[in-house]
Amino acid sequence: MTHPLKRIAIICLVFFMGLFASQRVAALPPAAPMDHVALTAWMDMSDGNPSDVIVEVNVNGIKDWGRPDEDGRVDLMLPADAVTLIHFRRPGHLTKTVSVDTHNMRDSSFKGKKAGLSFAVKLEPNTDKEDLAYAGPVGIISFDAVSGELMIEQDQHLVPGRPQKVVF
């Protein structure tokens, strides 16, 4: 079994390699080892470039961050048996968080295919919502405890919240 810090260091390395080495072609998530799941998040970049977007990744309490490539692509390798929070931040926009829980992920979860997930994120301007924030993660990706099947929940409920500033 790999030491947890070594595993997190590998995840971070893969994350940054994915950010800097991504090709301009829309592709499937990279192949993942059996104890990991490859995740690709696509940022909607129709209103500008991704240079002011920060993607913060929190895996079991250990944080790291990066930026999407010029096409808005973010590649991550997430460990099995972990809860990962992925925060998408941009000045002047509401921060969105996606939770990925891989605790019940099984080989059967992907029906014989490589373990990979892909989703899109569009950050909403906070011009008329300055005193609001999302109540929690806008997306929760997990696996059923019995069958191992992929489960996805969405909740974009806004609540009064403390405005957050993105610091570069």
List, in order of start, the domains of the chain with CATH numbers: 4-21+33-160 (2.60.40.10)
SS (HEC) of 113-153: CCCEEEEEECCCECCCCCCEEECCCCEEEEECCCCCCEEEE
Residues 32-78: tens digit of each pLDDT: 556 788 899 999 877 777 888 999 999 988 999 999 998 899 999 88
* pLDDT greater than 60 at residue 19: no
Tell whether the model's pLDDT for residue 139 goes beyond 90. yes
- Per-position b or e across 103-126, b if 16+ CB within 10 A of its CB: ebbeeebbeeeebbbeeebebbeb
User: The tokens of 13 are what?
Assistant: 């390395």
pLDDT higher than threshold 60 for residue 1? no
Confidence band of 151 (pLDDT split at 50, 70, 90): very high
Model pLDDT, residue 23: 40
Look over the chain and give the mean of its residue pLDDT values, rounded to a whole number: 78
Lowest mean pLDDT among 45-54, 91-100, 101-110, 149-158: 101-110
Q: For residue 166, what pLDDT band results from cuts at 50, 70 and 90? A: low
148, 158 in Cβ contact below 8 A? no
What does the block give as tokens for 12?
A: 């971070």
